[in-house]
Chains A and B, each alone.
Chain A
Amino acid sequence: MRRALATSAVLLALTGGARAVSDPGEMLPNPVQERRAEALGEQLRCLVCQNESVEQSDADLAKDLRRIIRQRVAAGDTDSQVVGWMVARYGDFIRLNPPFKPMTAVLWGAPVIAVAIGAGAALLARRRPNAPPAPLSEAERQRLAELLER
């Protein structure tokens, strides 16, 4: 058991940490700044691949954005300044973790909305016992008799 856990931990470390920064020349000499830059790149979406982070992607644009992140971090920008710089050019879409605002309310509210619809449907189904069908009216009785005779 313990061995299996250890193996999976190693595997996770190997796959989860996969980064596209293959060129050590891209990295900042200051390890604290480099870690910050990596964390920032993990939060930003690569606009070309759209489901990879800037840090993971091999796209040319992602490489450029990684370089810009590192330039700005080295120049002393705060994390929110770096993210703000990106959002000013590419919009909230570049954030893998979009902020909560009117535009994204439906996105963030989707789980609540889904649960509400489900709960409402369940309540309705429970509250309304199948009413016995209304007895046939005189006209319907006649029509039924006609149909049966045919």
Chain B
Amino acid sequence: MDTLIRRRLLLLAPLAVAAGAGGAATALLVRMQEGRYDPHALPSMLVGKKVPAFDLPGQPPSAGFSAADITAQGQPGLVNFFASWCVPCAQEAPALAALQRGGVRIWGIAYKDAPEATTRFLDRYGDPYVRVARDAAGTVGIDFGLYGVPESFLVDPTGVVRWRWTGGLSADLVRQDLLPRLRSLS
């Protein structure tokens, strides 16, 4: 009798393993759907380090900015690389606009984009940025370890990068990942 129960339990073990794996896979898919997990994303080398030094010209009418400008007012900032030719950049516009309304300082860097195209993009999807700079050659992007647009970097008031996201920001991602981090910084 004893062995019978044990055998039945043993039969259940693979089922339990399958159920566990299924649960984990579902959680992963839900996170992907909410835009909170990207299986192709690479870890950033910048997290925990100072923002790389740069000084970029502005996208008129905005003035340009340097690494020091981001934290000059002792507040955290979000550095957002974008381009008019990038579809997820347009898709993340509502999330960026909501952040700006919430008082988050967003610093835009137009990556390898023509000035007129950037102007049209900002006219059409809104301009949530404190300032917009131009990285026409893409070299500052490479210093940030950028491998696509959009990419966003959360910089703490001491100028250290705390978080990086590759791809468009979604409302779910902002609420569950970005806002708690911002709150812990201020």
Q: Residues on A close to B: CB < 8 A?
A: 47-48, 50, 60-61, 64-65, 68, 87-91, 93, 139
* Structural contact, B43 and A68, CB atoms closer than 8 A: no
* Structural contact, A47 and B43, CB atoms closer than 8 A: no
In the bound complex, how far is the Cα of B55 from the Cα of A146, in angstroms?
90
Q: For A91, what are the chain B residues with a Cβ–Cβ distance below 8 Å?
A: 42-45, 145
A/B interface sample: 23 pairs, CB < 8 A: A47-B147, A48-B147, A60-B138, A61-B138, A64-B137, A64-B138, A64-B139, A64-B142, A65-B142, A87-B45, A88-B45, A89-B45, A89-B143, A89-B145, A90-B42, A90-B45, A91-B42, A91-B43, A91-B44, A91-B145, A93-B42, A93-B43, A139-B1
The secondary-structure label for the interface of chain B is loop
Give residues 100-150 of B contacting A (CB, 8 Å). 112, 137-139, 142-145, 147-148
Q: Residues on B close to A: CB < 8 A?
A: 1, 40, 42-45, 112, 137-139, 142-145, 147-148
The secondary-structure label for the interface of chain A is helix
B1, B40, B42, B147 — most chain A CB neighbours (10 Å): B147
